[in-house]
């Protein structure tokens, strides 16, 4: 029988792969139950979506309707409304085996009727005709919240908007203002605005002119601290029949840049290296071998990411320079000279592009390459690339 994979990465995780975050989980569940709006912020791969889904799962088990809408693929107002409506309807209907509402009952109060299809497994898919919806997409999401509240007779409901930053790019002026009106009108529904692009989320939620300024309690996720993560890595190694000494677990944590997704990825690669050597204990040599294996497997992806910047050599130089030396002094003369950029405005423009592509990130005041494996690939290349 195939052994279960002890570490998970690249997608949201559930228990037993859910590590720490108990304090944040308690806050989210408490506020959601009380119908309080939330703004959840974290860089990508910190475990934000895993945390939100874990909270939603807990509340669903307690009888609270929790709808989760990932907005990442939305490019128009109608697509946005369709994703939200589908998430709500699926939450209201519940699993096929124990549905408490009929599809007809769920949709009968909607002002705009969607196209409905039901798969062999009973999963419901909804679509909206742009020609029919027109400019009434706000009515669709307003009706979706009302539907969620009607289904939650004695409790608050929850509607999560994940990757909410995409709304800033939809419509000529963005559509953030519509969600402010939605939040104002939600009586018994906790709206959770969650995003991974911090600069855009700040524009939407904080400061003068931000459409969602003051609309909810802010929860900002940092990395999981070293001790809880090291303990988690050790427990998961034991579940796979391996010993992982604590110093080696800490080394994995540090080499992976402390980011939860990359920590799990490196831990899995190190365990596989130990398997290949038929070793019962994971050693620093296995960590090094695992790191090299990940970089080798992803080298074609990294090469493509780098080549995609070919039309902007300054971005390539900045990426290479940050891979060698993370820095907060990106506007200092030494950095400008190192990347052959004439002025600070050019650096700002380049960093914005690199940040949007999730190639670099800023932690505190320091800019660095976001992916530790990409960082290794960049530093291993010749200066001529």
Which tens digit of pLDDT belongs to each residue from 259-310?
Answer: 999 999 999 999 999 999 999 999 999 999 999 999 999 999 999 999 999 8
Asked whether the predicted pLDDT for residue 126 surpasses 90, the reply is no
Q: How far apart are CA 188 and CA 36, in angstroms?
A: 9
Least confident residue range of 3-7, 318-322, 379-383: 379-383
148 burial type by CB count under 10 A (0-12 exposed, 13-18 middle, 19+ buried): buried
3-state secondary structure of 118: strand
Asked whether the predicted pLDDT for residue 1 surpasses 50, the reply is no
Query: How close are the terminal C-alpha atoms of the chain, in Å?
Result: 46
What band does 144 get if pLDDT is binned at 50, 70 and 90?
very high
Least confident residue range of 38-47, 172-181, 329-338: 172-181
Percent of the chain with pLDDT over 90: 61
pLDDT given at position 383: 56
Asked whether the predicted pLDDT for residue 125 surpasses 70, the reply is yes
Structure tokens at 263: 């920590």
pLDDT given at position 385: 47
pTM: predicted TM-score of the whole model, two decimal places: 0.86
| Strand intervals (E) in 124-237 | 124-127, 157-162, 189-195, 217-220
pLDDT given at position 71: 95
pLDDT given at position 384: 47
Q: How far apart are CA 73 and CA 191, in angstroms?
A: 20
Q: Of 360, 371, 362, 355, whose CA–CA distance to 258 is shortest?
A: 371
pLDDT given at position 253: 97
Q: Of 259, 282, 283, whose CA–CA distance to 9 is shortest?
A: 259
What's the pLDDT tens digit per position in 240-257? 999 999 999 999 999 999
What band does 83 get if pLDDT is binned at 50, 70 and 90?
very high
Q: What is the mean pLDDT of the chain?
A: 90
Q: Which residues pair with 70 in a beta bridge?
A: 162
Q: How far apart are CA 264 and CA 181, in angstroms?
A: 40
| Rounded average pLDDT over 322-331 | 95
**Backbone phi and psi for residue 251, each to the nearest 5 degrees, phi listed first:** -65, -40
pLDDT given at position 382: 58
pLDDT given at position 35: 92
| Rounded average pLDDT over 330-348 | 94
Q: How far apart are CA 256 and CA 271, in angstroms?
A: 15
- Gyration radius of the chain's alpha carbons: 23
Asked whether the predicted pLDDT for residue 195 surpasses 50, the reply is yes
Asked whether the predicted pLDDT for residue 191 surpasses 80, the reply is yes
Q: Of 352, 385, 357, 383, whose CA–CA distance to 370 is shortest?
A: 357
pLDDT given at position 242: 96
Q: How far apart are CA 359 and CA 305, in angstroms?
A: 9
Percent of the chain with pLDDT over 70: 96
Strand pairing of 217-220 and 115-118? unpaired
| Rounded average pLDDT over 80-99 | 81
What band does 2 get if pLDDT is binned at 50, 70 and 90?
low
| Rounded average pLDDT over 167-190 | 85
């Amino acid at each position: 029988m195939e052994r279960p994979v002890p570490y998970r990465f690249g997608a949201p995780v559930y228990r037993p792969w859910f590590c720490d975050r108990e304090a944040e989980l308690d806050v989210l569940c408490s506020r959601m139950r009380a119908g309080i709006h939330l703004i959840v912020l974290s860089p990508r791969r910190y475990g934000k979506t895993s945390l939100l889904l874990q909270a939603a799962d807990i509340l669903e088990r307690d009888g609270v309707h929790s709808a989760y809408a990932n907005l990442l693929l939305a490019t128009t107002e109608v697509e946005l409304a369709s994703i939200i409506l589908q998430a709500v309807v699926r939450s209201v209907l519940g699993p096929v085996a124990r549905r408490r509402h009929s599809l007809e009952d769920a949709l009968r109060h909607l002002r705009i009727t969607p196209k409905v299809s039901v798969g062999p497994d009973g999963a419901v898919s909804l679509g909206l005709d742009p020609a029919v919806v027109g400019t009434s997409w706000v009515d669709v999401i307003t009706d979706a919240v009302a539907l969620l509240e009607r289904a939650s007779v004695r409790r608050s409901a929850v509607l999560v908007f994940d990757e909410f930053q995409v709304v800033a790019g939809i419509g000529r002026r963005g559509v953030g203002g519509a969600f402010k009106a939605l939040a104002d009108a939600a009586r018994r529904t906790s709206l959770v605005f969650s995003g991974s692009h911090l600069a855009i989320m700040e524009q939407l939620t904080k400061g003068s002119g931000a459409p969602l300024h003051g609309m909810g309690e802010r929860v900002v996720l940092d990395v999981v601290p070293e001790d809880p993560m090291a303990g988690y890595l050790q427990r998961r190694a034991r579940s796979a029949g391996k010993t992982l000494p604590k110093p080696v677990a800490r080394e994995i944590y540090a080499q992976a840049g402390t980011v939860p997704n990359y920590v799990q990825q490196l831990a899995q690669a190190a365990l596989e290296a130990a398997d290949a050597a038929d070793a019962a204990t994971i050693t620093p040599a296995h960590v090094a071998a695992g790191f090299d294996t990940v970089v080798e497997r992803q080298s074609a992806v990294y090469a493509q990411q780098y080549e995609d910047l070919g039309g902007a050599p300054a971005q390539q130089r900045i990426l290479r320079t940050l891979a060698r030396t993370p820095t907060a002094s990106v506007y200092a003369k030494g950095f400008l000279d190192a990347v052959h950029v004439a002025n600070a405005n050019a650096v700002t423009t380049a960093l914005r592009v690199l940040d949007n592509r999730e190639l670099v990130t800023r932690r505190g005041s320091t800019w660095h390459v976001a992916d530790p494996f990409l960082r290794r690939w960049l530093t291993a290349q010749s200066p001529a690339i």
